[in-house]
Structure formats: structure tokens, C-alpha cells
Amino acid sequence: MKVECSSHRMPKFRVLIVDDSSLSREVLRRTLEIDSTLWVVGEAKTGEEAITMVRALKPDLVTMDLNMPGMGGLKAIEVVMRERPTPIVVISERSSTSGVDLNYEAISRGALELVPKSGVFGAGDDDLRRFVERMVMLAEAGVADEKPLPPAAPAPPIPVSTETPVLLGIGASTGGPKALAKLLASLPRDYPLPIAIVQHMAEDFFDSFVRFLRDASGHPVEQATAATRFEVGKVYVAPPRQEMFVRENLTVKLLPPPPNSLISPSVDSLFFSMATTLKGRSIGVLLTGMGDDGAQGLLRMRRMGARTVVQDKASCAVFGMPKAAVELGAAEHVIPLNDIGAFLTRASKGGAITGNNAAYVPSLSRVADTTKDRKVVLVVDDQATALELAKNTLNRAGFEVITLDNPMLVARTLRKNSVDLVVLEPELKTMKASALVQTLRSHGSNTPVLLWSSIDSATLQSRAKECQTSHALRKGDTAELIRTVGRLTRN
């Protein structure tokens, strides 16, 4: 057992590492403390030591190996979650032992996240950076936030379709497995809609997750395939590293993720396809998770007349994705997890939901589908196909788009139009992007600039530095384009 105290540095989040390998603990400590907000306050070699140290140190985050002498990680997770619920990230290399599916057991006992050791030990710099950022966000989820959400401003409601829905779509990330199991278990066995689920999950743990969801919910749960037709009474989960789309005939279309995609499957892919093909004949639910995946897609569903629901802050493990949806005005209702099932049962029948069936309705002032409320994006590119792709993608997401193939006209366009964001190809044939940005700034324009290009990442970052912008994105991932534009134009 190793405990550290410090009087000269007080990082924000306290982390306990549990692993019987001294080398693993050392590598993990050095990796986590890349970020100064993470402070490794203790290291335990067994489950017994972990429980003792959780009681004494009250960490904000615990990393847990599953295979240890004495009390293993599974029992330790169970005790910690019973005595002092704390975000626990399982970092382990073995998925089964003596016929026991360790991943399944870790999820069922309350682990918040599962990370294969290969995702930390020997990973590249970019993967390590993303891992550390994720750990910071998970640690933050373990710290009580006393600040309430600002009250929603009154706004006129958006018309909701009264048609009977034909599909329920649910998206989740961190904390999602247990939230999904609880939600599905609260739905009647004869729930009248097929259910499509996107859960961010490492491929190593996917099969365990599907089995856990099936056993815990009592509903038939299976992996979606290219041959799947959505059937009433069944739950379909998007497979790892595949984007799941819904066709008009309620069949599944699976596509590989775009190049350089960081999130796959994407909740936005599912929700955008539901909005496009089903219009108001669907229901969208966004549960606990970090980041903002699903928020833009839910907004599109909302604008098409679908019912949209997000999990409330108090019942979320991480109020990231639902918060992003609320801030966009994408959530028709914000509901505690325990009450979402009853709401969905009522909503599955179509028609208005009033009286005791109504839930808290947040401000929808940003969702009003009028031109004056839409964010305006100027896309500058000398390739016609890129302009068409950006225009179609962003239009479908609810943005007003102006396209230019002549960079010499940008300054004049900005004088005539109120623009919230410029999306710029840095490798223009007729003008250097840095010169174009300098021209904009010299004319007093502070409009943010997003570089959008197919050039390699290193060159793109170099161009971003030349243009004095921190916003750059490689072409290919349209869902990420929508999320980035939404984030940069958000008030």
C-alpha cells in the first residue's frame, strides 16, 4: 500500500490506482500525472487494500485491475460501490478467468468504464492524451457539483408530430451500460416499438456488454447487422467501429466510420438518419455520457417533429451529452432516469403528452426553425464537391450555409452578411489561408475560423498556427464536422 500527501501542490482530482504490478502502477501514475489536475493519492496492490484506501483517502476516481491476489477487482468494485460510490475505471488485460466473463461482471457491479491495458501501455501519444483527458472528465464526474443549471427561459413550444412513432433510438456513453439496463428494464415486455441503441464501447468489451444488457433488462438484445430489419419487441445495438443508419423501410445500413473518426459508432449518425427517414415518427433519447455526441442529431430530430428526451443531471454519471443537447435546445423533455421509461411508454402511442405525463420542458428558443434563429456558416473552398458536401451536411443539421469558391469575395460577403463561423480550406490555389484570415482581422472581423482540409494532420496543425486559429478538422467525418461547427457557434 502506498499513500502520498503533498502540501505544495493541490491538484483538483484525487486518483487511487489499484494493480498488483508495480510496473503497471508506475506507468499508470506517470501517464495520469501528465495532467496537473490529476493527483495520484495512493496505490493499492490488492482488493483489500483498495477498499481500505477508498475509505481513508476518498478519491474522486479509482483505476482498477481485475486480476489480483487475494480479493480481486470484481469484489472490490462491489464493496466500493456499496460503501462509497466512486467512479471506477477498469484497466485490465484479461477478459475471462475460470469461465467467468470479467467484463460482464465488472459492468454489472458498477464499473463506469472499461479500458484494455493495450489502450494505455504502449499506446501512442495521441491515444495517451485522449485517455488522460477522459480520466480527467471521469474524475470530475465524481466531484459533487453544487451549482444548479440556470433556469430555462420561457419559449414557445415547437410543434411535435402526433403520428404514432415506429422506432425508439437511444444514445449513451460513459455510465451508459447501467443506465440503459435500468431504462430497458422499466419498459414493458410488450413495448410496441423496436429499439436502436448506440453505446460508446471498446470492441474488446462489446460482447460482454450485449449479454449484460440482455440479462439485466429482460428484453431480447442483439447486435445489429447489415441484414437487420427492426422488429417490435427487440433491442438492436450498433456494432463497434460501424456507423448505424436507419432506412425508410426500417432496415439497418452499416458503414465504416469516416477516416480519423474518434467516436464510432456515433449517436449522431443514428439520430440524423432517423430524422431524415422517419421525420416525426420516432423518439430520440440521449443518456449519460461525456462530450456532445448525439446533441446535434437530437436537435435535427426535434426540428423534424420527433419527441426528444434527455436524462437529467442528477441521475447522470456524466452530464455531458445531455447538457450539450439542452444547451442547443434539442431536448423537448429533461427527465430523471427512473421516470424515462414511463414517459416512453406513453409517447410510444403518439398524440399529445399532457398533465401528469408531461415533463420539464427546457428553453427551446434556439430551436425555433426560422432563419433568424439559425446559425450562419460561411464555407470557403475552391473544390465544388467539398462545397456541396459541406452545404448539404450543415443544412441538414439546421445551419444556414453560404458557400464561396472565390476567396477574394470573403471580406465583401462578411460585410453583407452576419456570419457566425468561417469554415476554410487552407490549401487554396489563389490565396494563402493565412493572408485571407489576416485580411478578415484587418477589417475588424472577429468571426471564428475553422480550417477544414484533407491534408495530413501535421500540415493542418501547421496551417492552423499560421492562421492563428486553434480550430482545425480533417475532411471525411461529417458527424464530427457537425459537432465542431455546433460547438463553435454555440452561444
Convert 278-310 to b/e letters by CB count within 10 Å (16 or more is b).
bebbbbbbbbbbbbbbbbbbbbbbbbbbbbbbb
Sheet holding 13-18, edge to edge: 2-3, 38-44, 13-18, 61-64, 88-92, 113-116
127-171 tens-digit pLDDT: 788 888 888 877 876 554 545 554 443 334 567 778 899 999 999
pLDDT of res. 185: 94
The CATH number, out of the four listed (3.40.30.10, 3.40.50.180, 3.30.70.370, 3.90.1150.10), of the domain defined by the range 167-357: 3.40.50.180
The whole-number pLDDT of residue 110 equals 79
What are the phi and psi torsion angles at 292 (to 5°)?
-135, 15
Catalytic annotation, pick one of 20, 60, 65, 293: 293
Q: pLDDT digit string (tens) for 339-390?
A: 999 999 999 988 666 544 445 444 433 333 433 457 899 999 988 888 888 8
pLDDT score of 258: 75
CATH 3.20.20.30 is right for the domain spanning 2-141: no
| Residue 127 a catalytic site member | no
Give mean pLDDT, residues 291-296.
88
Chain region(s) in the chain for CATH 3.40.50.2300: 2-141, 374-489
Residue 272 pLDDT > 90: yes
* pTM (predicted TM-score): 0.66
Selected catalytic residue, list 173, 261, 266, 348: 173
Q: What are 136's three cell numbers?
A: 480527467
Whole-number pLDDT of residue 460: 92
Question: Picking from 101-105, 184-188, 308-312, which range would have the lowest pLDDT averaged per residue?
Answer: 101-105
Q: How far apart are CA 442 and CA 432, in angstroms?
A: 15
Examine residue 265 and say whether the peptide bond preceding it is cis (omega within 30 degrees of 0).
yes
Which pLDDT score, from 0 to 100, does residue 362 have? 46
Sheet of 400-404, strands arranged across: 400-404, 376-380, 421-424, 449-453, 472-474
As assigned by CATH, the class of the 374-489 domain is alpha beta
Catalytic residue among 20, 60, 200, 273: 200
Contacts of 207 (CB under 8 A, 6+ apart): none
For position 76, what pLDDT does the model report? 93
CB 467 within 8 A of CB 437: yes
3-state secondary structure 71-136: CCHHHHHHHHHHHCCCCEEEEECCCEECCEEHHHHHHHHCCCEEEEHHHCCCCCHHHHHHHHHHHH
How buried is residue 391: exposed, middle or buried, by Cβ count under 10 Å (0-12/13-18/19+)? middle
User: Among this protein's residues, is 293 annotated catalytic?
Assistant: yes
pLDDT-derived band at 228 (thresholds 50, 70, 90) equals very high
**CA dist 377 → 58, 304, 401, 481, 486 (Å):** 47, 21, 5, 12, 10
Query: Which of 279-293, 433-447, 452-466, 476-490 has the least mean pLDDT?
Result: 433-447
Residues of the chain with CATH 3.40.50.180: 167-357
Cell numbers for 14: 484525487
Helix or strand run (H / E) with residue 333: strand 333-335
Strands 333-335 and 252-255, bridge-based pairing: unpaired
Report the percent of the chain where pLDDT is more than 90.
46
* Per-residue pLDDT at 161: 79
* 52-to-2, 83, 193, 441 alpha-carbon distances in Å: 12, 11, 47, 58
Residue 65 annotated in active site: no
Please state, in angstroms and rounded to a whole number, the distance separating the CA atoms of residues 231 and 196: 10
User: Which three cell numbers, joined as nine digits, stand for 467?
Assistant: 492562421
Say what the pLDDT of residue 297 is.
Answer: 93
Least confident of 233-237, 315-319, 457-461: 315-319
Mean pLDDT on 469-483: 86
Residue 375 or 191, more confident: 191
Cell numbers 500527501 correspond to what residue? Answer: 5
What is the per-residue pLDDT for 151?
Answer: 45
CA-atom Rg of the chain in angstroms: 24
